[in-house]
Structure 1
Amino acid sequence: MVVSELAEAGERRIEWAARSMPVLQAIAARFGQDRPLDGLRIAASLHVTAETAVLMGALRAGGAEIALAASNPLSTQDDVAAALGGYGIAVHARAGVDRATYYRHIHEALDISPNIVLDDGCDLVNILHTERLELLEGVAGGCEETTTGIIRLRQMAAEGALRFPVVAVNDTRTKRMFDNRYGTGQSTLDGIMRATNILLAGRTVVVAGFGYCGRGVAERARGLGARVIVTEIDPVKALDASLQGYDVRPMELAALAGDVFVTVTGNRDVIRGEHLAVMKDGAILANAGHFDVEIDVRALEEMARDVRFGIRPNTDEYVLADGRRLLLLAEGRLVNLTAAEGHPAAVMDMSFSAQALAVARLAAEAARLSPGVYDVPADIDVEVARLKLAAAGIAIDSLTDEQEDYLHSWRLGS
């Protein structure tokens, strides 16, 4: 496909996504009038998808100059990247690049000398603090989109290494509920089913991690008729899963029973060699965590006597010495963005609306903030939820004056 045709296809994909993103479009219209980002340079490392393109359009409407790199080498939609170039956004991303090219693209995005950075996984912020130190003084602040990135940022902050304020967009109530739970739950199973065409009903699905994302995967799998086993390291989350009716086991026991395994923890080596060694013939391995470290792919490679790459799109079959076959999806990378299209646009409408408003708030207030990880201001979270309800035509109650007085007085009782 020639570049012009690719860009046209990308424009159609972006237009389709925008139909389901009314909140972000309303914010873009407001930004176009108020221009809160005039003169700012933004470097972003995000999944280059149609939904991200709508966010880039909103920030561009606010006056920002933008350079965008991918946050995962397998999630880039090349048609969207081509279309964004026509919108005046510098895109440094291509689907399927190797690790060296992936990091080179992030460096190229940073060459814009950003004032604000947007990250999904903390790779861009990490490079700023380790390899592009000369740019740090010009960075006023940033936003982080995902749990994995926030884990890394909080560790940086605890060690005194983080040099500017970063807003943890992932930790808003709206994102945890809408994006992590409902978005990850649906899109992860979508990716698994596209890659394998299996029937989940009657299968045993092992979900590693019962945070907001893991809960969403478990709910959707159970809703499709699967038996669900949850593995956890957190006693409170494990108890929650048990009280919700899930079978809770350590991975060493779950590995014996599972037909489909989904890791969604933000940690490494969740599925290791000792687990692979006891899995059923035909077991399916999928990762829904940000980085490709949750399944020990190197151990799987060492155990295999043969590998049939691409036995189906985004599915590789590893044949072990005893003849058992284990199916690895999306090379162990994000299955929902590699084997499917990621979250539905209606989901990303919430996350990216909070992101856009957080960027505008940072532009106005970053100079007053010390380096560290900050929650999204509560009023932004509430505004996004109200705008989403309004777009859906849903009305809610409001407090009466008497109710307001009651909630703000300690003297009133029964």
Structure 2
Amino acid sequence: MEPQDRARLDAYFDKIAKTFVPEQRPAGLLVTHLLPDRPSFVRAVDKVTELRAVLPKPKSIDLGARREIEQAVAVDALSRELFADPVAAVTYLETRAADEDVVLLDVGGYFAPSLTEMCDTFSGRILGVVEDTENGHKRYAEMPKPPCPVVSVARSPLKDPEDYLVGQSVVFSTEALLRGRGDIMNGRPALVLGFGKLGSSIARLLHAKGVHVTVYDIDPVRQAQAFSQGFTVAQDRDRALTMAGVVLCATGSLALRGEDFPKLRNGAFVASVTSSEDELELDGLPDYYGRTTSGENITRHTTTGHYFYLLNGGNAVNFLHGASVGPFIFLVQAEILAGVRLLARGDLGPGMHEVSVDDRAAIAATWLHYYNR
């Protein structure tokens, strides 16, 4: 990032932080993709919270960004296992924020498995969670009885530009990997699993490139939406898997289980929009499949009579090329800061919540002031 771009970004986040700083700043724990532009956002989080630790998502850590952040705040290792075990989760929380009011800023529902125990036994008070992604939104929304407020920005209209551009980057990276081994997308029927905001963006972009697209979604409303936009809608998921030359997983949950991989068409390419631990049950892939490298960031899985290719080890394929969506990501990050203030007020009940329309309008106006030039 050029110095003048960094200066503008810092000025933008300084304005946003001043707008949404709570009267009483709670402690904060931040899960984030640690990409090159992320230190500015982390500093803004530290202005609206007393930031106790950053937990970078393991598959998206830029070493330069990490070194910069480590100079100001602790950077801890993140894993699903850490917060799957209630004892380990509470112990970690106690080491970082004992006896404090805490806001948890999440990307992908990491805190969800132990959230009830954390709220019940932590020596301080968990004011709530701010969740960024659709995958995480679902994890919290599916809890039988959420123990605290969860402010989700996953379905915010401010996220629409990001979702479109992420879809664009997924298609770009998938095509780039195929071209890197002398192949192309055209002529390979594509199956998009999930027709939410990301999946629908991917489907439309593939269609614009002349690729035949089939969509599968468990939601009949989304099926109808896909059908109305001219896509083939698969009713039989297993049959669709056997027909597809490229499978793009965008469900926000578990798209392919271990037993699904042997159903793939010979030579099919599989790509995901998020980490492999969320979309793909690779641990369930039958042991009789061998693995070999077949081009840069492409793994060939082979057994007698069957083979398929996995892009970027099953992790978000667009992260191979920076996963950049330009300044539009800063809209969503600003809404996360607004979510912190909402939780810090302490008047929300347990369950799912959203940032207000007025706060979103203020964020958009500030963003336009800095970036509509």
TM-score normalised by the chain length of structure 1: 0.77
1:139 maps to 2:126: yes
Superposed CA deviations along residues 32-85 of structure 1, whole A, max 9, x for unmatched, are 598547643110122222343221121224463341102x32122222111111
| Alignment CA distance shift 1:119-1:234 (3 Å) | same
Map Cα deviations across residues 315-334 of structure 1 (whole Å, 9 max, x no partner). 21101211x32111233233
Report the counterpart of residue 361 of structure 1 in structure 2.
Answer: 342
Looking at structure 2, the residues matched to 318 and 330 of structure 1 have their Cα atoms a distance apart, in angstroms, of: 13
Residue among 52, 60, 64 paired with 2:38: 52
Q: Deviation string for 1:144-173 (max 9, x for gaps)?
A: 0111111111122xx22x222110111211
Deviation at 1:281, TM superposition (A): 2.6
- Maintained 8 Å contact 1:265/1:289: no
Change (3 A) 1:92 1:190: farther
Query: Letter of the aligned partner of 2:336 in structure 1?
Result: Q
User: Do structure 1's residue 263 and structure 2's residue 287 form an aligned pair?
Assistant: no
- Which residue pairs with 2:303 in the alignment? 320
Distance of 1:373 and 1:154 partners within structure 2: 7
Percent identity of equivalent pairs: 20
State the secondary structure of the residue aligned to 1:75.
strand
Verify the 8 A CA contact 1:300 1:318 in the aligned structure 2: no
1:104-253 equivalences under 5 Å are: 108=92, 111-113=95-97, 115-130=102-117, 133-135=120-122, 137-156=124-143, 159-160=144-145, 162-175=146-159, 177-180=160-163, 182-196=164-178, 197=180, 198-249=183-234, 250-253=236-239
Matched AA of 1:79? G
After superposition, the Cα gap between the structure-2 partners of 1:381 and 1:260, relative to the gap in structure 1 and judged at 3 Å, is same
Give the residue type in structure 1 aligned to 2:96: I
**Cα RMSD between the aligned structures?**
3.2
Find the partner of 1:334 among 310, 316, 334: 316
Long gaps (5+) in structure 1: 1-11, 395-414
Query: Residues 216 and 34 from structure 1, CA distance in 2 versus in 1: closer, same or farther, beyond 3 angstroms?
Result: closer
User: Which of 366, 369, 373 in structure 2 is aligned with 1:387?
Assistant: 366
DSSP 3-state at the match of 1:139:
strand
SS of the counterpart of 1:200?
Answer: coil
Is 1:292–1:334's contact at 8 Å kept on the other side of the alignment? no
CA contact (8 A) 1:69 1:109 kept: no
**Alpha-carbon offset, residue 183 of structure 1:** 2.8
- Residue 99 of structure 1: how far off its partner (Å): 6.5
Moved more, 189-198 or 27-36: 27-36
SS at match of 2:285: helix
Q: CA deviation at 1:224?
A: 2.6
Residues 20 and 337, structure 2, Cα contact 8 Å, conserved in 1: no
Distance 1:60 1:244, change over 3 A: same
- 1: distance between equivalents of 2:363 and 2:53? 25
Higher mean Cα deviation, 54-63 or 368-377?
Answer: 54-63
Q: Distance in 1 between the 2:23 and 2:94 partners?
A: 18
Structure 1 residues 57, 350: closer, same or farther in 2, change over 3 A?
A: same
Distance 2:5 2:121 in 1: 37
Q: 1:340: how far off?
A: 3.4
**Offset at 1:385?**
2.8
Select the structure of larger CA radius of gyration: 1
Greater Cα shift, 115-124 or 312-321: 312-321
Q: Aligned match of 1:307 in 277, 291, 295?
A: 291
Following the alignment from structure 2 to structure 1, what is the Cα–Cα distance between the partners of residues 17 and 37? 18
- Could you tell me how far apart the structure 1 residues matched to 2:136 and 2:107 are? 6
Q: How do residues 52-131 of structure 1 correspond to structure 2 at under 5 angstroms?
A: 52-62=38-48, 64-70=50-56, 72-86=57-71, 88-93=72-77, 108=92, 111-113=95-97, 115-130=102-117
Classify 1:201/1:350 alpha carbon distance in 2 versus 1 (closer, same or farther; 3 Å): farther
Does structure 2 retain, via aligned residues, the 8 Å contact 1:154–1:373? yes
Unaligned runs of 5+ in 2: none
2:261 counterpart letter in structure 1: L
2:4 and 2:282 mapped to 1: Cα distance?
36
Q: 1:132 to 1:68 in 2, by over 3 A?
A: farther
Aligned length in residues: 363
Q: 1:105 to 1:283 in 2, by over 3 A?
A: farther
Structure 2 equivalent of residue 377 of structure 1: 356
SS at match of 1:47: strand
CA distance in 1, matches of 2:133, 2:177: 24
Q: 1:174 to 1:73 in 2, by over 3 A?
A: same
Partner-residue secondary structure (3-state), 1:267: coil
Which whole-Å CA distance do the structure 1 matches of 2:255 and 2:288 have between them? 15
Shift of 1:119: 0.5
d(CA) in 2 for partners of 1:83, 1:153: 32
The TM-score normalised by the length of structure 2 is 0.84
Q: 1:130 to 1:61 in 2, by over 3 A?
A: closer
Q: Which residue identity lines up with residue 334 of structure 2 in the other structure?
A: S
